[in-house]
Amino acid sequence: MRQAAHAGERDLIFLDESGFAPTMPTGCTWPRIARRAVVRREDTRNRRVNVLGAKIVGIEPDLLWQHTCGKIDARTLLEFVCARLAGLGGGAAVLDLAADGLGTDVMPVWERRRRCTIVLDNASAHVAKAFKGRCRQLAKIGVELFYLPPYSPELNDIELVWRQAKYEDYRQRAQTSTDSLGKAVDQAMTQQRDRLRASARNFAQAA
């Protein structure tokens, strides 16, 4: 799949979710001699921001995401895949029309410009009928689902994105509101996206 992606035959997309708390993990610090370091910690109850992200591998690498203070369920996931990854106008609401060619007076039969394979784990939202049950319709518009073996996060490339976003690009370690937390998450993810795009440009120039 990676070879096909780098050859421009399809896109390979690694998809997953991650939660960001008001206080991010602190990897290291410098305390005074004989003094214990104290790191400010904010209450996390009902204040987490959940992020749904997709790392696109191929000739046009990219990083897409959306954050919410609510739960990311199967319907949210399906809408994200249809609207953001497949580029389906109208999102999941018109998936049936696009896949089956019905209602062509409303919209023509549609297929993604370059077919893609979405790699994801077996989280409850990923295997729920509201999402996995639409895999045939998704395949008709150029989106295929590939499920990883259980307990194999090391096979999902986006795990590195989450780790770097939390430990490297999340500058302010403690946030006092969900709004500030959401902005900090967007800034961290934007840095990840810009780094990914720059790396691809540099590679293309070197080639």
Long-range residue pairs from 191-197, CB within 8 A, at least 24 positions apart, any chain? 191/165, 192/63, 192/161, 192/164, 192/165, 193/62, 193/63, 196/55, 196/61, 196/62, 196/63, 197/61, 197/62
Nearest of 80, 70, 68 to residue 15 by alpha carbon: 80
Which residues are within 8 A (CB) of 119 and not within 5 positions of it... i.e. 6 or more apart?
1, 12, 13, 14, 15, 146, 148, 155, 156, 157
Q: Read off the pLDDT band of 195 (50, 70, 90).
A: very high
Task: Check pLDDT > 90 for residue 149.
Answer: yes
Whether 205 has a pLDDT exceeding 60, the answer reads: no
Work out the average pLDDT over 84-104.
78
Q: What is the pLDDT of residues 9-59, one digit of tens each?
A: 999 999 999 999 888 777 677 888 998 888 777 677 778 899 999 999 988
More confident residue, 183 or 104: 183
Q: Which amino acid is at 48?
A: R
The two structure tokens encoding residue 179:
């709004």
Whole-angstrom Cα distance, residue 1 to residue 7? 10
Mean pLDDT in residue range 100-112? 59
Which range, 25-29, 87-91, 169-173, 188-192, is most confident? Answer: 188-192
pLDDT, position 96? 78
Average pLDDT, the chain: 87
Identify the pLDDT of residue 95: 84
Q: What is the pTM of this model?
A: 0.85
Among the listed residues 126, 120, 116, 152, the one whose alpha carbon sits nearest the alpha carbon of residue 8: 116
Q: What pLDDT does 167 receive? A: 87
Nearest-Å Rg of the Cα atoms of the chain is 19
Percent of the chain with pLDDT over 70: 89
User: What pLDDT score was predicted for residue 13?
Assistant: 97
Q: Supply φ then ψ for residue 8, to 5 degrees.
A: 85, 10
More confident of the two residues 26 and 62? 62
Strand-by-strand arrangement of the 116-120 sheet: 62-68, 49-57, 11-20, 116-120, 143-147
Tokens matching residue 55 = 């790392």
**Which range has the worst mean pLDDT, 80-84, 119-123, 170-174?**
170-174
Residue-level pLDDT at 199: 82
For residue 11, what is the enclosing H or E element?
A: strand 11-20
Report residue 104's pLDDT band, with 50, 70 and 90 as the boundaries: very low
Long-range contacts of 189-195 (CB under 8 A, 24+ apart): 189/51, 189/53, 189/63, 189/65, 189/161, 189/165, 191/165, 192/63, 192/161, 192/164, 192/165, 193/62, 193/63
